[in-house]
Structure 1
Amino acid sequence: MRNISDIIEQHLKQILETAGKDVVDIKRSELAEEFQCVPSQINYVIKTRFTMEKGYSVESKRGGGGYIRIKRVKHQDKAELIDDIIGMINPTVSQQAAVDVLERLLEEELVTQREANIMLSAIKRETIAFQLPVRDEVRARLLSSMLATLKYLNK
């Protein structure tokens, strides 16, 4: 059974998809009421499921007429996307942010599930058995190298 966070995430993604737009404005309180949850649950979903690593930009306006705007980031080509990701993950990247990047690569069909699994096995904390912050630096270098290879294989 899916949890409320998964349901809210799918709902927001569906709104983006069915609207045919790359931007959606939502009111946190209205969405919380619709799903009968606390507004902080909406914040949690947006903060963890709609990140730059996953290809989203989020902005908010507070106050009575406030809203949260979720924007799907689009790139002109795959090379530009890879360059942006490399810039985003350097000089360090956490394991969760790296996993988010791999999910995005899957969504963008830049890698297969098998390739993503291989990449994940190389960058997980059990493989890179160093103390922080060295582990996150090594992970960023490994992932950047893999992404650079992908960039040139996709040309």
Structure 2
Amino acid sequence: MTGKSPEERMALDSQSAIMSGLFEGSGYSYIEPDILQPADVFLDRSGEDIRQRTYVFTDPAGNELCLRPDLTVPSCRYHLDHAAVATDPAKYCYVGPAFRFQRGGASRLHPREFEQVGIENFGARDRERAEAETLSLAIDAVETAGLEDYSVQV
């Protein structure tokens, strides 16, 4: 796979803008978590599948880093770094690239680099309601962006 055509990029940008606009209109603040992350956060806490597919390297200072394999953990790290108190309520949305090694090589179905759009809701007093809101908003966003072939796993 050698990147995206101008048409593919325009379609992705349009879909991402629609979804992030819906999220921001629903009270979620747009954040941009760092692409480079401390590797231990992913290697120690992620499932075996993600661990085996994470791009890990050592920087010149000897720190073990990785290209983020998703944006959920970086969003959590962002919240911990920016919230006055870790349990403070906060709603974030994001759009950005994530990276995962593909054993058989990259394909359209399993790219090494992919765009992830998402929302996180931290510190909500009513967790069940927050989960329902998150799921409902995610489905609304996907459908509003015109994506038809999707599945939801809970």
- Structure with higher Rg: it is 1
Structure with higher helix content: 1
Greater relative CO (CA pairs within 8 A, separation 6+): 2
Normalized against structure 2, the TM-score is what? Answer: 0.29
